[in-house]
Structure 1
Amino acid sequence: MRKLLPGEKIVERGITFERLRNGDGLFTVNVMIDGLRIHRVVGRESDGTTRTQAEEFIARLRTDAKHDRLSLPKGRKIALSFRDAASKYLEKLELEGGKDIKSKRMRLNRHLVPFFGDTPLSKISGFDVERYKKLRQQEKSARGGDRVSTKAKERGAQPVKSARTTTAGTINRELAALSHVFSKAVEWGWLAHRPAKISRLKEGDGRIMYLTVAQVAKLIEAAKASDSAHLYPFIVVAVETSMRMSEILSIRRENVDVERRAIYIPKAKAGRREQPITAHLAAFMKDYIEALPPGTPWLFPSAAAKSGHTVDIRKPFIKAVVAAGLDPALVVRHTLRHTAITHLVQAGIDLPTVKRISGHKTLAMVERYAHQNGEHIQAAMDTLQTRLKLG
């Protein structure tokens, strides 16, 4: 395989290895199992995929077929449950190099799998989906009110006190994960067609919560006094870049280039990208990195975390929000991203540039931020008036 030139390939026992133009290697399989031809991309050499993994993938396909897990059109004896489908879905999605797998796994394991459980994937109806939506909406609470998880509620558990709420946006993202399971199940031959239609919830009036300059200053002061050594740098990075929480907490020191004022993000939601940073943040990062323990690859290391870095900062963040005199039911970690993007728009930065900074997939997603107090819009109209020499 190492001797192959770009464009050349080797095919053996249903496994194809192709040397791509960029020098990377691609493993695919093309086999007949129980009368059904299965052609799948296993993975790229640069992602660590090996021939052994391709062989193991074929072995799993044969095992699945033996236990009627592929929903083959003939001889199916065991219905594929949603629980098993979710597990297989995540496994195959990783092999295909799917996006946002961490979030999909969280939504499936925390809410969707506990609800749909052993229900056959092909038997999930529109009524089941609506019942799920209703149950999740019932978890909405008043500020500081009662909340109980979907899984606990199904068991009849009593609610516990919490300031968190289940928003329409949160439920819609869970429904999007469910919809993707349906789509992939059809693509992979588990289902002949999607079992149910999924309609999304209306997400309010479209307004986005963001912090004023004064509120940002109060929150930063509260973060400086926090017991968490990671909270202050996390907030500084968030409000000066608009990066997502997962992107910030998984920054490696090798991916920070203070001279070029950029942070490389290998696994962003919309694909890998380079995040520009301010001169202030570049200087801050230089000092912060120098103060890290020697040999630590992460900017937010955590010996207790399986990943080696901090994955959540919710508790100290809530304490700082309260200390800053803000409402923790409204100001969440993602609010910092909204804040940075909103202030960019209000400062008169053109939307394509804002899109480049925020890492959004489309301009339509950025246009949502051109909505807030309208000062930047009024300033634009004043500019037009002056240019036309009116009034």
Structure 2
Amino acid sequence: MIASNALPAAPQAEAVTDYLERLDDSGGKNMGEKPWHLNRHLIPYFRTQQLDGLKDSGVKQYGRKRRDAGASRATVNRELSSLSHMTNRATEWKRIKPEHRPRTEKEAEPRKKIVVLSDEHSAALMRAAMEDQDGRLWLFVAFGLGAAMRRSEILRVRYDQIDFVSRRVFIPQAKAGAREQPITPTLAAALERQRAMEDYADGWISPAGPTARSDRGHRGSICKPFLRAVVRAKLDPEKVTLQVTRHTAITQLAKAGVDLPNIQRISGHKALAMVPRYTHIHGEHIDAAIGALDVPFPDAVTLEIHTPGKPAEAGQGAVVQLSLARTAA
């Protein structure tokens, strides 16, 4: 269980401790970042205010102060996301009234380039995962590359949520709500083989270890084993993060010509508008598509300026201006 290191005198300390404990017990996401954001920055700044006394103006001022102190827009936005998540949960748990929940407006961030793996690099990562001392790592990579699932979704999968006949995984907790996730025949067959070797055939695919801090039953992180596999595969750990397997899978769907609504059904995006950002402008599928417009110019095109006073040669039709003729110096 995660303990809060917030200042004891802070009025929000009890609420923060309750929030972190509940979140940890329920398998919440970003349990490494949220305590840091709250205890290191947010609680010290708002330490004289009650949780239901936070104002929109105060939250905006916090963002400006952090930016003035040198924090990046992305860092401040992550901190405000932690604050927003806590106040939303506090509202659900009846700790504060909805009208007392402050708005947390975030600054627009420049869009980062989405990193995807080539077929060669995907195979290298899979081999490295299978060779790792963590016997569950290959399953994580297989789900990412073969089903485009999110990290948290993969770690929460149970064998009794898999329909091996229809090759569907029931995901009760997802950003867009519960859904059925399709998986490939290869992944389904691998999961059946793995299940036959398990002590608990209906349990977690990624069970928590004996030293886990909560009783949620499944692992909360797989960062360290994944990093080992990335390094073993001779890939760049600064670029190849946990999300890259999902990004790669979605891009593969786009390159295969799958339409956006079906990509959305597989990826689980809440909004269709989020999908096009994964259909990268760079790639062989884009080059092949633009090739449909590749029509040779007619032989009549020249690099000279054609004027009404200059008749076309016999047998040639009128031509349009392609570029300016070079003028004399």
TM-score by length of 2: 0.71
Change (3 A) 1:201 1:192: closer
Which residue number in structure 2 is paired with residue 172 of structure 1? Answer: 77
Contact 1:220 / 1:235 at 8 angstroms: preserved in 2? Answer: yes
Q: Deviations over 1:349-377 (max 9, x none)?
A: 11100000000001111111122414323
2:63 aligned partner: 129
Give distance in 2, aligned partners of 1:93 and 1:318: 25
**Change in 2 beyond 3 A, CA 1:135/1:276:** farther
2:131 to 214, 225, 235: 225
> Which residue of structure 1 aligns with residue 41 of structure 2?
115
Alignment RMSD? 3.5
Select the residue among 255, 269, 277 that pairs with 1:360: 269
Q: Do the aligned residues in 2 keep the contact of 1:206 with 1:368 (CA within 8 Å)? A: no
Compared with structure 1, are the counterparts of its residues 384 and 352 closer, same or farther at alpha carbon in structure 2 (3 Å cutoff)? farther
Q: Are the aligned partners of 1:249 and 1:309 in contact in 2 as well (CA < 8 Å)?
A: yes
Distance in 1 between the 2:88 and 2:218 partners? 33
2:110 matches 1:213: no
Where do 5+ consecutive residues of structure 2 fail to align? 1-8, 299-329
The 5 A counterparts of 1:232-381 are 232-294=138-200, 297-304=203-210, 305=212, 306-381=215-290
SS at match of 1:204: coil
| Deviation for aligned residue 1:323 | 1.3
Q: Max radius of gyration: which structure?
A: 2
CA distance in 1, matches of 2:70, 2:244: 22
TM-score, with normalisation over the residues of structure 1?
A: 0.61
The whole-number CA distance in structure 1 between the counterparts of 2:107 and 2:292 is 39
Q: What SS is found at the alignment partner of 1:81?
A: coil
Q: How does 1:65-214 map to 2 (within 5 A)?
A: 81-86=11-16, 102-103=28-29, 107-117=33-43, 118-120=47-49, 121=51, 122=53, 125=58, 126-132=60-66, 137=71, 168=74, 171-181=76-86, 190=97, 198-214=104-120
Listed one character per residue, the Cα deviations across residues 238-291 of structure 1 (whole Å, up to 9, x for unaligned) are 110011111111211111112111111111121111100111111111111112
Contact 1:270 1:361 in 2 (8 A): yes
Q: Give ranges in structure 1 of 5+ residues lacking alignment.
A: 1-78, 95-99, 139-166
Return closer, same or farther for 1:107/1:275 CA change in 2, 3 Å cut-off: same
Greater strand share, 1 or 2? 1
Distance in 2, Cα, partners of 1:216 & 1:85: 44
1:137 deviates by 3.2
Structure 1 residues 193, 283: CA separation in 2 closer, same or farther (over 3 Å shift)? closer
Shift of 1:92: 9.8
Quickly say closer, same or farther: Cα 1:256–1:84, change in 2 above 3 A. same
Shift of 1:112: 2.0
Identify the residue that residue 145 of structure 1 maps to in structure 2.
Answer: none
Structure 1 residue 336: deviation in Å?
1.0
Residues 80 and 368 (structure 1), Cα distance of their counterparts in 2 relative to 1, 3 Å cut: same
**SS state of the match for residue 169, structure 2?**
strand
Aligned residues with identical type, % of pairs: 38
